[in-house]
Amino acid sequence: GILKQTFPLIDAATGRDGAETVWLIELKDGRILTWGENNKFHLWRLPALDDSILSMPIDIYPIALLEDDSDSYFMNGVIELPDGRLVTCGTHNTIHVWQLSDDIQSRYVIRPIKRLVGHVGEINHLVLLCDGSFVSCGQDGMMCLWRL
């Protein structure tokens, strides 16, 4: 499932304390997708952990940035399809489909491979069904069934 966590932050420019809420989900292949209030979506690959690594902090950097064409898109939901594609929904009335290949290099930018339109308002939830299709629910009161 999706985990929500608030992290304390210190603004380097002002020195003021703050906080940012970050959501994350672990994908089937072990990679992690995170997104936050700054509308940035990052894909991470965690290093293999052994006893020597666990005894000290390690720096981990995102391997990819997922970008759509809008700076104001906030993601409300994400599901992983059986074939590994991601489906996201959010504050725009569009569902995004993303292909995350296994050979992503560091600092790679990923754009949606498909946009699905059917709602006339914010889309709140996605639910994966047993047959690989999915349902989206929006503030417009509609529930849409999708097969890719």
Which residues are bridge partners to 114 per DSSP?
A: 97
* Dist CA 130 CA 112 (whole Å): 24
Mean pLDDT over all residues of the chain? 81
* Dist CA 14 CA 142 (whole Å): 45
DSSP string, 42-75: EEE-PPPP-HHHHTS------SEEE--S-SS--E
Whether the pLDDT of residue 9 is over 60: the answer is no
Whether the pLDDT of residue 56 is over 70: the answer is no
Which residues are bridge partners to 125 per DSSP?
A: 137
pTM: 0.79
DSSP state of 107: T
pLDDT at 141: 93
Whether the pLDDT of residue 39 is over 80: the answer is no
The pLDDT confidence band at residue 97, using thresholds 50, 70 and 90, is: very high
pLDDT at 132: 93
The pLDDT confidence band at residue 58, using thresholds 50, 70 and 90, is: low
Are residues 126 and 78 in contact, defined by beta-carbon separation less than 8 angstroms?
yes
Q: Which one-letter amino acid corresponds to residue 39?
A: N
The pLDDT confidence band at residue 55, using thresholds 50, 70 and 90, is: low
List of residues 6+ apart from 30 with CB closer than 8 A: 45, 46
